[in-house]
Amino acid sequence: MPIRARAHLHKRRRAPLAALSAIALLWGSQPAIAQQADPLAPTGAWSANVDGAALTPPMGWNSWNAFFTDLDEEKVLASAQVIVDTGLAAKGYRYINLDEGWWQHRREDGRMLANTDRFPSTRTPDGATSFRPFTDRLHGMGLKAGLYSDLGRNTCAQAYMPDQTNLPRGTMTEREVGLYGHIDQDIGQFFDEWGFDYIKIDGCGLRAYGPESERVMSGQYRALDPILNLETVALSDIPAVKGLFGEVKTALMRYNPDNDFVLSLCIWGSAHVRAWAKDVGNVSRTSDDITPHWGRMLTNFDTAVTRELYAHPGSWNDPDMLFIGKGDFDADHLTEARSHFTLWAFLNAPLLIGSDLRDTPQPLMDIFGNSALIALNQDAGGHQAVLAFDTDDLQILVKTLADGDKAVAILNRSSAPVEATLTAAHMKLREDAAIATTDLWSGEGASFTGEMKVTVAPRETRAWRVRGSRALADGMYLSELPGQVNPAVDGVTVPEVDPTIHRAANFGTRGSGARPFYTGWGGARADSTPYGRVLQVAGHHFASGIGVLANSRLEVRNNGHRRFTASVGVDDSAQDADNEVTFALYGDGRLLARSEPLSRGMPAQELAADIAGVSLLELVARSGDAVTGQLSVTWGDAALVQR
Ligand code: GLA
- pLDDT (mean) for 225-236: 97
pLDDT range class, residue 12, cuts 50, 70, 90? very low
The rounded mean pLDDT for the chain is: 94
Sign of the CA dihedral running 534, 540, 546, 548: negative
| Atom of ligand 1 minimally distant from the CA of 157 | 12
Q: Is the pLDDT of residue 388 over 50?
A: yes
Q: Is the pLDDT of residue 2 over 80?
A: no
DSSP 8-state class, residue 429? B
Q: Which of 594, 353, 595, 379 is nearest to 481 (CA)?
A: 379
Q: Is 20 in the pocket of ligand 1 (CB under 6 A)?
A: no
Q: Which of 307, 280, 231, 318 is nearest to 522 (CA)?
A: 307
CA gap 615, 631 in Å, rounded: 29
191-215 pLDDT, tens digit per residue, is 999 999 999 999 999 999 999 999 9
pLDDT of residue 271: 98
Q: Is 480 in the pocket of ligand 1 (CB under 6 A)?
A: no
Query: How far, in Å, from the CA of 400 to the mean position of ligand 1?
Result: 32
Query: How far, in Å, from the CA of 550 to the mean position of ligand 1?
Result: 37
Sign of the CA dihedral running 606, 607, 610, 614: negative
Question: Residue 4, SS3?
Answer: helix
Q: Is 202 in the pocket of ligand 1 (CB under 6 A)?
A: yes
CA gap 319, 346 in Å, rounded: 12
Which run of H or E residues covers position 539? none
Classify burial at 62, counting beta carbons within 10 Å of its beta carbon; exposed 0-12, middle 13-18, buried 19 or more. Answer: buried
Query: How far, in Å, from the CA of 418 to the mean position of ligand 1?
Result: 36
pLDDT range class, residue 133, cuts 50, 70, 90? very high
80-107 pLDDT, tens digit per residue, is 999 999 999 999 999 999 999 999 999 9
Query: How far, in Å, from the CA of 155 to the mean position of ligand 1?
Result: 9
pLDDT of residue 36: 55
476-492 pLDDT, tens digit per residue, is 999 999 999 999 999 99
**316 forms bridges with which residues in the sheet?**
283
515-527 pLDDT, tens digit per residue, is 999 999 999 999 9
pTM to 2 decimal places: 0.94
Rg of the chain over all Cα atoms, to the nearest angstrom: 24
- Give the distance from CA 231 to its chain's centroid: 19
Q: Which of 273, 75, 260, 248 is nearest to 150 (CA)?
A: 248
**160 forms bridges with which residues in the sheet?**
none
| Atom of ligand 1 minimally distant from the CA of 1 | 7
pLDDT range class, residue 22, cuts 50, 70, 90? very low
Max CA separation in the chain (angstroms): 77
Q: Is 230 in the pocket of ligand 1 (CB under 6 A)?
A: no
Q: Is 323 in the pocket of ligand 1 (CB under 6 A)?
A: no
Classify burial at 85, counting beta carbons within 10 Å of its beta carbon; exposed 0-12, middle 13-18, buried 19 or more. Answer: exposed
Give the list of residues 6+ apart from residue 376 with CB closer than 8 angstroms, or none: 345, 346, 399, 401, 407, 440, 465
Rounded-to-5 percentages of helix, strand, coil across the chain: 25, 25, 50
Query: How far, in Å, from the CA of 571 to the mean position of ligand 1?
Result: 41
CA gap 131, 410 in Å, rounded: 44
CA gap 474, 224 in Å, rounded: 57
Q: Compute CA distances 123 → 10, 104, 116, 118, whole Å.
A: 39, 11, 6, 10
What is the residue with the minimal CA distance to atom 3 of ligand 1? 289
Q: Is the pLDDT of residue 13 over 70?
A: no
CA gap 399, 408 in Å, rounded: 6
In this structure, are residues 504 and 295 in contact, taking their beta carbons and an 8 Å threshold? yes
- pLDDT (mean) for 377-401: 98
**Which positions are annotated as active-site residues?**
202, 289
Find the distance separating the first CA and the last CA of the chain, reported in whole Å. 54
pLDDT of residue 34: 40
Helix 238-255 and helix 17-24: axis angle, to 10°? 30
CA gap 100, 261 in Å, rounded: 19
Helix 132-140 and helix 73-85: axis angle, to 10°? 10
What is the residue with the minimal CA distance to atom 1 of ligand 1? 156
Question: Residue 426, SS3?
Answer: helix
DSSP-derived pairing of the beta strands 406-412 and 418-423: unpaired
